[in-house]
Amino acid sequence: MKKDVIIACDFASAEATYAFLDRFTEEKPFVKIGMELFYAAGPEIVREIKKRGHKIFLDLKLHDIPNTVKKAMAVLSNLDVDICNLHAAGGVDMMKAAIEGLTRPDGTRPLLIAVTMLTSIDQDRMEKELLIKGRLQDTVMQYAENAKNAGLDGVVCSPLESGLVHGRCGEGFLTVTPGIRFADGAQGDQQRVTTPARARELGSDFIVVGRPITAAEDPVAAYRRCMAEFAD
């Protein structure tokens, strides 16, 4: 799979998203549509962005009983996105059901990746609030293995975990990694950040980049810089 930069289109409306994408006249970046934009603009935004020629990672992080997730995934598969996701915490049966739902009658389906442990959960919260004992990193690896065993294509994780995940689940198991910042850029609310070049060295397959591109004075130049450091 070719390495690529996915722009997190964390905008509140369809208009703001189209205005942003209109700035890209020469390339068609891979875009991530998350809950905010999907809930605000509905499935139509997915169809429109797809029609414009972009690849789409639909980041809705499903987490429910297997039957519900299967049926929801069947609906999402009709949107013809390239990557969907769910929470590995929903369990192996839920992840298997998700694949069944996502698979179209002709056998094709979008890639499906799992969120392991949210980066907003640290060791202390995991132990005290979720009552999960042991090291956070071991939980992340267990969830990644569960995802692999359920037949998923990869996980969302920190670039710092990409090597470990590949070691445990195989080089072909995708690591999609947010928490990316330019060496000379602002960190914002991200705690553990990595440059695009370092993410490449660490083995990430896709980097998800939001504000370093969307809030840049020249988003197209920022996107090109990411591509040059990470993918080209």
The Cα 196–Cα 193 span in angstroms is 10
| CB contact set of 74 (below 8 Å; sequence gap of 6+) | 101, 102
If one asks whether residue 210 binds ligand C5P (CB under 6 A), the answer comes out as yes
34 is a site residue for ligand C5P (CB under 6 A): yes
Largest CA distance in the chain: 50
Task: Tell me if 96 contacts ligand C5P by CB under 6 A.
Answer: no
Which of 70, 90 has the CB closer to ligand C5P? 90
Instruction: State which residue, 12 or 118, has the beta carbon closest to ligand C5P.
Output: 118
Which one of 156, 202, 207, 226 is in contact with ligand C5P (CB under 6 A)? 156
Q: Are 8 and 210 in contact, with CB atoms under 8 Å apart?
A: yes
> Residue 58 has what DSSP assignment?
E
**163, 211, 227, 231: which one binds ligand C5P (CB under 6 A):** 211
- Establish if 29 lies at the interface with ligand C5P (CB under 6 A): no
126 binds ligand C5P (CB under 6 A): no
The interface mask with ligand C5P, positions 37-66, x = CB under 6 A, is ------------------------------
114 DSSP β-pair partners = 86, 155
Q: Are 33 and 57 in contact (CB under 8 A)?
A: yes
Q: How far is the CB of 108 from ligand C5P (least distance, A)?
A: 26
How many residues make contact with ligand C5P (CB under 6 A)?
A: 16
Question: What are the residue numbers of the active site?
Answer: 61
Among 1, 65, 75, 118, binds ligand C5P (CB under 6 A): 118
Cα torsion 78, 81, 82, 86: sign: negative
The sign of the torsion formed by the CA atoms of 16, 22, 24, 27 equals positive
**Beta carbon nearer to ligand C5P, 111 or 156:** 156
The secondary structure of 124-143 as a DSSP string is HHHHHTS---S-HHHHHHHH
Residues binding ligand C5P (CB under 6 A): 8, 10, 34, 118-119, 156, 178-180, 188, 190, 208-212
